[in-house]
Chains A and B, each alone.
Chain A
Amino acid sequence: MGRGTTVAFHSYKGGTGKTTLISNLAALYAASGSRVCLLDFDLYAPSLMSYFKKIPTAYVNDLLNGEVDISRILVDVSAELELKGKLLLGFSSNKKEDVNAIEIKHELKWQLTAMRRFLSAKNQLFEQYGIEHLFLDTSPGIRYWSINALAAADNLFLVMKDSDMDIEGTMRMINDIYDSLVKFGSKFFVVLNKVPGASPIIENRFGADDTASIADFEKQIKSRVVGSIPCFCDVQFSKHEFLWAVKQPEHPFSKKLIEVAEAIRNL
């Protein structure tokens, strides 16, 4: 079996909708018959566990600490979600002590040892589990474990909002870290999320002038935009949005996500 691809979703700030997008995309891939694994690498502020409402027996943290094997952390949700393919999930711990432990473990030796464990687990996922697409949900900003996850990925997706604050910070992040990653052969792309325009307010053309065209935006950020997902209030303010892309495929948000999934697949 050939080696699968690894994609990481990252952002400059929190609240860009990264976890929602990556979960939906992973589910879409699995729904279309692919073997997918989604790992929560937002070790500093985990959210995948509450998104999927699961309590695993072991966490990504345990894997990095060398306490468990990859098989112990994986949770298979394919059957309950009635997916054609496979969707395996790996959660990171939201316990205060585990988050604190990650926060303070900055020494290079541990970082590299943990990274080796993760890479070995990644190979296992491809070889033993036949995973075709490995999705990594990373922490926003520049932190050790977001860098580690990004470095392990073939394609990086920067999820951002079309706001000056986000653009400015993302540009800085590109200069600081992405350029180094690109030097080593990684490719990075942008996914614009929560773009103004889907709500009725656009009928009054309010804010329309502030929305830069994709071409201008790509020039500014020096990267390709693989998707532009409008801000849908029902998604944004839903009490618990859960895999709309597979549960409500007719929703415009889901349709947009299907387009993005296709664009990513064709990269």
Chain B
Amino acid sequence: MIVKTKNLSKIYQSGETEVHALTDASISIERGEAVAIIGSSGSGKSTLLHLLGGIDRPTKGKVFIEGEDIYKHNDEALALLRRRRIGFVFQMYNLMPQLNVYENVVLPLGLDGRIVDKPRVVALLENLGLADKHKSLPNQLSGGQQQRVAIARALVTQPAIVLADEPTGNLDSKTSVEVLNLLRASASKLGQTIAIITHDEKAAQFCDRILRIEDGHIREG
């Protein structure tokens, strides 16, 4: 089991009222699985993503990544765990504009003082259709290409899980299919566990398993 949550709940205080964003979510994700977490806006899917990714602390319950209770750590240790064990892909790509494709991809390795395995990075970029784009700056790339760079950056550290938050939310339908095909194929090749958080049923079909979230409650299927 790569990720496991136990009775995970998050309550936000909004003035006098309590908002139950997530209620008693107990899920597990196996190594190598591709899981879609589907929910509409306000369903609690972003809250779940933040809790799985060590971005926000739960009101109640636990998150285990590779068996380790991540919220037992202080903020500093949690930040380190996030960098080493979790890969993020966001809707807006979040690439560093002044760095080229190669530099953006190896950035998380550098931040962690890890050695860059250049042939591995080159192979990864090739798998993602970016073989001839190593030296391009993000603003010289299309949206689909930028998202593929972000995917390479998430995969390069070989994290326990890649969390992709609406990864095609900013792309047209043709490019979305292309990006999701590549994300899925690259993850399969590397045995990488991924969770795609989306509102889109079309994106969910790239995954092996679907979890649905509605009003903060999660269910299989």
Chain A partners chain B: no
Q: Which residues of A contact B (CB under 8 A)?
A: none
